[in-house]
Chain A
């Protein structure tokens, strides 16, 4: 096999090669997905509801192993990787969930600080970044509020702050602006863009076509009925890596 993405992807951060995913005995919900994500790039993932966006993202943030195919992340094969090595990889990935998944009995501050605490950062060292992040998302005065008392937009901002606080190498966001007003959506997108400029690879699943047009040089990935539309082959063989 001479034209596999893994063989030509160079320093791709994420490589999917003919990946398929099925739950139980049902038909595959994702089939023959092949693409490479380059370090420091910005991607939008679009597609109709039920096209498989969330399933694809779950494989990206290591909540799901594929049923077939090859997945490499940060240069390592994740399909055969033992479980005990996964936490180290997950700490390099930030995730913004569509349903936020904040821990309800932790304050906004503690939810945001969670990735740093899990990584073993001392309380002394994390208080500054967490405070700055709270101010940046406009929740400095609600640091001690618990998620059930926050609005949907506020919860979304806390979820995003939690995803980016540890400066991940890969940021995966599932409809991150779905619950915020246009102004906050632009601010959040600006944050993603800033992180991207600092070298973070960003993948944003969204329906918002206006959002896509706001980021220069962003690439679009479109899922249609469980298959990735890549008519030019740019996703599978990124121009920068073509021989």
Chain B
């Protein structure tokens, strides 16, 4: 039971006012930051995994044969033979318009209709995705195939140039996880201070309850319930604000469809974890309060 049941008559043993004025607000701020950090961490981790999955089994073959007709024939032949290979899941020749559009973004002609751009001798590109399995062997087989069909072509594994980006994103996800951990510890510290302050404030009542035969468990349940309710208010408030911020960011993110940014999302498991975090936080607060109170009460005869 996260918030222990206490008979109504026993609840009156503590005055109605909140135990610790600013506690719910501090918890609300920490909860909001925790959820935002957790959301960012989950999104980044998923993006890193998506990128990792995408690049781990993909290579691009760059055919730079000078004769455009031969180059096109080599690309078509490579695509056809690669598609038939058992270690290849799919092969796709990158279209000329797609190449021009990509280059146009870099050379200041977004539409790719610049005559200068069209006059450039562009290589033919074939994207090849391997099936799952042992990459080094698959790569060696592909290189042999490329040597037969398009001598002089370059085989570029995507992992070589996108790997560091995925690693960076993964590192950022770990940083976010570290922030979640630190803020969880800070929240627990706030609860400990609140519990101790409550014991100090109500020491006379606690002493009286002890002297008429109240057990530590009875006294602890009273305070644990109150602290859990106080923190639950803060957690609910922080969660609502964090949800609003995440929805706003999600709405803005939905407009970003290109590049690596498009790979970031929370996914059902991520959302489930974010929804579970507030409940876990309330449980953690109640448990922390209980342990703190029991430890403090043991110092009183």
Binding site for B on A (CB under 8 A): 61-65, 83-84, 86-88, 90-91, 95, 101, 103, 105-106, 110, 113-115, 117-119, 123, 162
Q: Which residue of B lies closest to A95 (CB)?
A: B211
B218 within 8 A of A: yes
Interface size classification for chain B? 20 to 34
Question: Contact at B212–A114, with CB atoms within 8 Å?
Answer: yes
Cα–Cα distance between A103 and B212 once the two chains are bound (Å): 12
Binding site for A on B (CB under 8 A): 7, 9-10, 12-13, 15-16, 204-205, 207-216, 218, 298, 301
Q: Which residue of A lies closest to B297 (CB)?
A: A83
Cα–Cα distance between A103 and B208 once the two chains are bound (Å): 8
In angstroms, how far is the closest chain B Cβ from the Cβ of A99?
10
Question: Contact at B9–A118, with CB atoms within 8 Å?
Answer: no
Question: Contact at B218–A63, with CB atoms within 8 Å?
Answer: no
Question: Contact at B301–A119, with CB atoms within 8 Å?
Answer: no
Scoring A61, A86, A114 by chain B CB atoms within 10 A of each residue's CB, the highest score goes to A114
Query: What are the residues of chain B within 8 A of A105 when measuring CB–CB?
Result: 12, 15-16
Question: Contact at A110–B12, with CB atoms within 8 Å?
Answer: yes
Question: Contact at A90–B12, with CB atoms within 8 Å?
Answer: no
In angstroms, how far is the closest chain A Cβ from the Cβ of B296?
13
Q: Which residue of A lies closest to B208 (CB)?
A: A101
Known A63-B301, A123-B9: A87·B15 in contact at CB below 8 Å: no
In angstroms, how far is the closest chain A Cβ from the Cβ of B18?
14
Cα–Cα distance between A61 and B234 once the two chains are bound (Å): 41
13 further contact pairs, Cβ within 8 A, besides A62-B301, A65-B301, A83-B298 = A62-B211, A63-B301, A83-B216, A84-B216, A87-B210, A101-B204, A103-B13, A103-B208, A110-B9, A110-B12, A115-B212, A117-B7, A118-B213
In angstroms, how far is the closest chain A Cβ from the Cβ of B202?
10
Known A64-B301, A65-B301: A90·B213 in contact at CB below 8 Å: yes
